[in-house]
Amino acid sequence: MQRRIWRGIKWSSLGVSVISLLLAVALVATHDGSLAPTEPSSGAKSRQDVEIESPVIIERKGERIVWSLNASRARQLRNGHMLMRQPTLTLYTRHQKSIPIRGAMAEFDPKTKHITFRKHVVMHYEDWKLECAELIYDSMRDEASVPGAFVASNPSLTARGKHLILRRDIERLWVKEGIWIKDRGLLGLEIKR
């Protein structure tokens, strides 16, 4: 009699295990693979409304800081980019000299690490000051570019032109279109190209 009871318990346990396994396989087979969260209630903030106070982003290469980006506020956009207010991007040369770039607004793409400054943009390097309406920093190419017009000045020179490209890593710049230079030194030289 006792043997019959144990045999019944054994077959019952095996049956429950088989049914559980079949149920698990059926659930996995019918699952569509999406683990999307449910829609937030009307009171909850959606992704594009995320506000960040004083964000700071730092890019390093080994022990050295390549650049740092901070702002007074940032807002996450639907495309994943960050729209920053009063941003400052500081590029560091290989000798760790800082090149601050400030603007009214900037858009940062975290995937490509592109930073696009718009509105009044000002960049300082040693005694030089560059002003423009738009500046784009491409982190992958380690290159800042001004696609439109710019004015660069120091105590003795003023330069105007279009389409400036600055390479941070080699500390060089190029002007692709119409350069105009005025020397405020003793000669009062003016060069146009």
Domain boundary assignment for the chain: 49-192
The CATH classification of domain 49-192, taken from the options 2.60.450.10, 2.60.40.1180, 3.30.460.30, 3.40.630.40: 2.60.450.10
Is residue 75 scored above 70 in pLDDT? yes
Q: Mean of the per-residue pLDDT values for the chain? A: 82
Count Cβ atoms within 10 A of the Cβ of residue 30 and give its class: 0-12 exposed, 13-18 middle, 19 or more buried.
exposed
Mean pLDDT of 105-125: 91
The gap from C-alpha 163 to its chain's centroid, in whole angstroms, comes to 22
| Rg, Å, the chain Cα set | 30
Which segment of 30-39, 51-60, 68-77, 118-127 scores lowest on mean pLDDT? 30-39
The pLDDT, as a whole number, for residue 48 is 47
Tokens for 84? 């920053």
Task: Name the more confident of 187 and 28.
Answer: 28
Q: Kindly report the pTM of this predicted structure.
A: 0.67
Tokens representing residue 40 in the block: 């937030």
Which residues have a Cβ under 8 Å from the Cβ of 161 and sit 6 or more positions away?
149, 150, 175, 177, 178, 179, 180
Give the whole-angstrom CA distance, residue 51 versus residue 14.
55
What are the φ and ψ backbone dihedral angles of 148, each rounded to 5 degrees?
Answer: -110, -150
